[in-house]
Structure 1
Amino acid sequence: MRLPWGESTAARYAHGIIVVSEELRSYFLRTYGRETVYIPNAPASYPKSDANFSYGNSLGLEQGRYLLFLGRLVPEKRPDLLIEAFQALKPSGWKLVFAGGVSDTRLYVSKLLNAIASDPNVVFAGELWGTQLAEIVRGAGLFVLPSDVEGLPLAMLEAMREGVPVVASNIPPHQQLVGETRGVLFQAGNLNSCIQRLDWAIAHPQKMRVMADKAQEYVKLNYNWDRIAAENIKLYEALSSSSKNSIVSKRKEFAIKRN
């Protein structure tokens, strides 16, 4: 109950609202009749990683030959769908890696672990940080995000910034990032569509490389901190100026009434 209450309160009383995707801007206008300002977040910069891929090797991985899911292991991100698609596809020489933590979803994660208990080609790496995270992201052949719901997926932005090819569900935030030329999209929640698009992406590495290069350039141009910081400052200055004008106006109105 707290999150919906906080959302509606912000929509009613905030001087300004920043949203991180075009879909969220449409949502606030549609739901509350409230105009918002679209300013996205930017991806983090990864540290240098081991060129010898030592940590990846310790997990039994080969560079460029695994699918990577990076994020919280929660139902709305659909890791279960990805497991089912991977096990149905059985791509020769490829593995599936899950990197991420648990968020009040231990029962759900237990079911995931049971589903892959006898599959040596699915690896749960747990939460990764620093150089290990950078190494596993950079070494991935494909970054896959099958979510049903996202705001602005920073994990995807980080993968795109690193030049990793992307396959994702076709929810609006993913469409905004990937478009038709920066990655491959499949129908959200549709197992057959996921299988088909993963199969195509694995079979067309050169085309995926071209898409990844376009995605990397797109992120550098549109999701960089210099631009985002400038837009935030501009918004706060506008709100501050508006607030000061409003206070001056109210003071004048009060003075007229007193006289």
Structure 2
Amino acid sequence: MKIAMIGQKGIPAIYGGVERHVEDLSRELVKQGHDVLVYARAWYTSKALNNYHGVRIIHTPTIHTKHLDTISHTLFSTINALGQNCDIIHYHGVGPALLSWIPRIFSPHTKVVVTFHCIDRYHQKWGVLAKFMLSLGEKAACTFAHHTIAVSKTIQSYCLNEYHTKVEYIPNGVVVAKNTGANLLEKYKLEPNKYILMVSRLVRHKGAHFLLEAWQMARSQNPELFKDYKLAIVGGSSFTDDYVDELHYIARGDKSIIFTNWMHGQILEETYANCALYINPSENEGMPITVLQAMAYGRPVLLSDIPEHLELVSDRNFLFRNASIVDLAEKITKLIKNKELCTTVGLENKVLAKKSFNWNNLSKQTLAVYTAKEKVKLARLKPVRA
């Protein structure tokens, strides 16, 4: 099959869960003999790169602003894909799904698939108009696509309840982690098993400010316990410079907090593989690939107790009340004190990631969706009159 991927910024993934998802899925599909086109933005993927591990990369124009970047790139990519005689056009995200009606009209032989990665309108960075457009994108994802995929059971239920549409659940995956060293950590003065890690875009709903304040609280209450530990924040701005400035203000003068900006490749792998504890304090998620990646490296993960995280972790030792700085500080302290528990659970996480979130299996499930009959649209239930 010839498959076009639209909605991502590009590959290889420098940052972003959608980009990591598309890269890993596309490479698996190529291994299975399919022709995969990934549409990219020149500011993210170099124009000199037109093939990545057998995945063809096509650059199309974009208007690189906060509100127009995604939708303009999706439009130009969709127009290009109409001329590629694709079997599948696969949109990633509810923003790009706004235009999923175009191939339904102008290329009726092409099957349209949308992956619903996250309920983006809940994100605090968007204004009223953007949130309205994202809600229309949700409806489009559940209406125009032949098939809709949800990356979490929470999103699957949301589509059923809000749009009366039965969608397929296929979670995000990870490439099974390989053994890695710790040779590159010295660049940031990090020591194996002596730092806590967060990897994320620095946007408010991801909750980095909660983690910074909880870290400072835990250190002030237990200075001897944390004297050799650091907190590494890996990531950067996503049209959120003011928020990044706020984070640096919170951390001012604290040499135990390291902002690395974006990482990718070997140094990112080493950073995951050698952390003492991975923390995701997010207030809203789809199915966080960064958490899955940490689990694949056998690391313990401490998560906010939002529904999407509860699909990954049930042990209350590794959950804290969403947005509670006090509870997060207490859990950090408890887990750093209990290395044996962290080691045991980390190994369990590795087994779970390999078993349930392996792209080799998930790509086959995606192919099954590509070849399946059209999804079912459920009728609204009408109240029964006595």
TM-score of the superposition, structure 2-length normalised? 0.59
Q: 1:28 aligns with which of 142, 152, 159?
A: 159
Q: Is the 8 A contact 1:178 1:215 kept in 2?
A: no
Whether 1:201 and 2:340 are equivalent positions in the alignment is no
Q: For the Cα contact (< 8 Å) 2:176–2:358, is it kept in 1?
A: no
User: How far off is 1:180 after superposition?
Assistant: 2.0
**Tell me, which stretches of 5 or more residues in structure 2 are unaligned?**
1-129, 220-225, 376-386
- Report how many aligned residue pairs link the two structures: 239
Return the offset for 1:199: 1.1
- Aligned equivalents of 2:187 and 2:308: distance in 1? 34
- Residue 212 of structure 2 corresponds to residue 76 of structure 1: no
Whichever residue aligns with residue 246 of structure 2, its letter is K
Q: Which has the higher helix share?
A: 1
Q: Is the 8 A contact 1:147 1:169 kept in 2?
A: yes
Letter in 2 for 1:123: I
* Distance verdict in 2 for CA 1:214–1:47, change over 3 Å: closer
Quick one: which of 34, 42, 47 aligns to 2:173?
Answer: 42
**Percentage identity across paired residues of the two chains:** 29
Q: Residue 143 in 1 paired to residue 278 in 2? A: yes
1:7 aligns with 2:168: no
The alignment status of 1:67 with 2:196, answered yes or no, reads yes
Equivalent pair of 2:279/2:302 in contact (CA under 8 Å): yes
Q: Distance in 2 between matches of 1:159 and 1:184?
A: 14
Q: Which moved more, 1:77-86 or 1:92-101?
A: 92-101
- 2:236, 2:244 within 8 Å by CA — same for their partners in 1? no
8 A Cα contact 1:69 1:144, kept in partner: yes
Task: Give the whole-Å Cα distance in 1 for the aligned partners of 2:187 and 2:140.
Answer: 49
Which of 368, 378, 385 lines up with 1:234 in the alignment?
A: 368
Give the corresponding residue for 1:130. Answer: 265
**Aligned Cα root-mean-square deviation (Å):** 1.8
Cα distance in 2 for partners of 1:228, 1:45 equals: 13
> Are 1:192 and 2:316 matched, yes or no?
no
In structure 2, the partner of 1:111 is 246
The runs of 5 or more residues in structure 1 that have no matched partner are 243-259
User: Residue 252 of structure 1 corresponds to which residue in structure 2?
Assistant: none
The DSSP-based 3-state class of the residue aligned with 1:238 is coil
In the alignment, is residue 56 of structure 1 matched against residue 185 of structure 2? yes
* Residue 149 (structure 2) aligns with: 18
What is the deviation of 1:14? 2.1
Q: Which has the larger radius of gyration?
A: 1
Give TM-score, length-normalised by structure 1. 0.87
Q: CA deviation at 1:188?
A: 0.5
Question: Would you say the 8 A contact 2:175–2:359 is kept in 1?
Answer: no
- Cα deviation for residue 55 of structure 1 reads 2.5
Higher RCO (C-alpha 8 Å, min separation 6): 1
Q: Secondary structure of the equivalent of 2:142?
A: helix
